[in-house]
Structure 1
Amino acid sequence: MQEILDTFRKDLYAGQKVLVSGATSGIGLAIAQGFAGMGAEVVATGTSQAKLDKIRNDPALSGIRFEHLDVRDRAAIDKFVPALDSLFVLVNAAGIVKPDNEFNEDAYLEVIDVNMNSAMRLAMAAHPLLKQSKGAIINTASMLSYLADDRVPAYCASKTGIVGLTRALAHKFGPDGIRVNAIAPGYHKTAMTQDLWSVPEYAGKIKHRTALKRWGTVDDLVGTCLFLASPAALYVTGTTLPVDGGYVNGGW
C-alpha cells in the first residue's frame, strides 16, 4: 500500500475525521488504513466483537479507532454519528453476501439491509456534519451492479441499488457542498471471494477476463477512494467508478 500512499501528499487528510463502516477486514479495513496513512482521524466500525477485540490489539492499526456499530440499527446510527462532532468523509463499505441462500426471503432482506439500506441510514445521519465540512460520501457498489450472478440475487440488487442511491444523494446533497460517489470493485482477493481465488480453475478464468490479467487486491481500491474524497475531485459527484481491472468490459 505504501506505493499508493506515496502518490499523495502525506498530510492530505490531516485534521479530518473519516468514518468507514464494515472496516474490520477486507476492503473496508484497507480503505481505513489508507485514510489513516494520509493523516486522517479514522473511525472504523464493525459488528463482530471478536474481530474488534483482535484488531484493536494490532500495533500496525494503532492509528485507527475501532468501534462497534450495527449498520442495521437506525437508532444506534443516529446516536453514534452525531457523537463524532465532525466528519469529512463517510465511506459505506459494510457488506455481506449469502450465495445460494438469497432466494430465501429472510436472507434476501438481510443482504439488502446491510448492503444498501445501511448506506442510506449512515448518509442521512452524517448529512449535518458533512454539510458543515463540505465533505464527501463514498459508497461501495460492485461489478455486479452491471452483471448478473444467479447465486446472489440480493447482492446484485443491493449493489445495483447503490448506483442509483449514489446518483440521487449526489443531487440531494449537492446544494450543501457534499459530493457523493461510489466505487465498483471487481474480483479482489478477500475472505468473501476466497471460494473463487483459492480454486485454480475459477481463479484462472477470472484473471483471464480482466484486461490486466490479474486479480485485484484490496489495496487497489485505496487510491481511488483517496482521490474521490480529495480536492482533485471537487467537480466529481454522482458517479460510480469501476475498479475492476477491466473485468466488466472484458470477454472470455
Structure 2
Amino acid sequence: MPRTVLVTGGTSGIGRAVAALFAADKAHVIITGRHQDTVTQAAHELGVSGAVCDATDPDQVAALAEGLGPLDVLVNAAGGLPAAPADSKSTLHGILVQWQDSLAQNLLTAVLTTTAVRPLLTAHSSVVSIGSIGAERRGGSYGAAKAALAAWNAALSHELGPSGVTCNVIAAGYVEGTGFFRGGMTGERHRALVEETHDKRAGTVDDIARTAFFLASPGARHITGQTLHVNGGAHTTR
C-alpha cells in the first residue's frame, strides 16, 4: 500500500527533492508552501498533491492537519534565513525581529506541524526534520534555531518512541543549487565551503533527500533521536 508523506516547504530546494524522491517511490505525497502559485506549479511538475500553508501560523497548520488522514512520513523542510531589517545590527528591536523570524521559520514550523499531525502518525511513522551545520558554527540566529530544532527532536523522540515513531534531524552542510543564500553566494565563498569538506565537493539536494528517504525506511527503524550530519566531513562527530 502506498505511503502517505507530508513535506513542508516542498516547493523548492531540499523539500522539493525530498518530495520528488518519495513520489518516484509511488508514495502519496503532499507538499506545502506559503504561496498558491508556487504550490500549484510544484505540485503539477512533481505529480503530487499541494496545500497552501504558512507553517508559522497555528490556524493554517491546524486546518492542514484536519484535511489529512494517517501519515507514514512527515518531513519538516520549511525554513530559511531570516528576513533581517536594515537596522537589525544597530537596534535591539531589529535584533529581536531577526531572532523571532529565525525561530519561527526554523523551529516553530516543525514544532507546530508535528504537534498538529501527531494524532495521524502510526506505529511505523517517521518524522524527519531538516537542520543545518549552522547549528555547530557561525550560524547566528539561524544556527541557534537549528540547534534548538535538534534539542526538540531529542525530546520528541523520547515522547513518540514508545508508540513506534522515529524522529531524526538531518544537519545539512553546504548544499549548492538552492535559493538559500538569496543571491549572496560568491565564487570565493563557494570554494571556501567546498575546501572545508573531506570529499571536496558541495552537497546536493539529492544527498539530503536520499538520507531522508533512508530514515523513513525499514532499515532505519532503530535510529531515532539522532542528528545525522550530511556535510562531506565539513563538521565531524565521534
Unaligned runs of 5+ residues in structure 2 are none
Q: Which residue number in structure 2 is paired with residue 128 of structure 1?
A: 119
Corresponding residue SS for 2:181? helix
Aligned residue among 174, 188, 206 for 2:175 = 188
Aligned residue among 41, 62, 84 for 2:28 = 41
Aligned residue among 121, 131, 137 for 1:141 = 131
- 1:111 aligns to 2:95 (yes or no): no
Shift of 1:196: 5.2
- 1:217 aligns to 2:204 (yes or no): yes
Unaligned runs of 5+ residues in structure 1 are 1-13
Distance 2:55 2:43 in 1: 20
- Per-residue displacement from partner, 1:47-104 (whole Å, max 9, x unpaired)? 022312332443xx12x11210110111221221132111000000000203765652
Q: Which residue number in structure 2 is paired with residue 159 of structure 1?
A: 146
Amino acid across the alignment from 2:230: V
Corresponding residue SS for 2:180? helix
Aligned residue among 37, 44, 55 for 1:71 = 55
- 1:96 aligns to 2:80 (yes or no): yes
Distance 1:56 1:122 in 2: 20
Shift of 1:119: 0.8
Cα 1:48–1:79 shift into 2, 3 Å? closer
Distance 1:192 1:134 in 2: 32
Distance 2:127 2:220 in 1: 12
TM-score, structure 1 length as denominator?
0.85
- Cα RMSD between the aligned structures? 1.8
TM-score, structure 2 length as denominator?
0.90
Is the 2:51–2:64 Cα contact (8 Å) retained in structure 1? no
Amino acid across the alignment from 1:122: T
Corresponding residue SS for 1:191? coil
Distance 1:118 1:194 in 2: 20
Distance 1:56 1:144 in 2: 30
Distance 1:99 1:53 in 2: 24
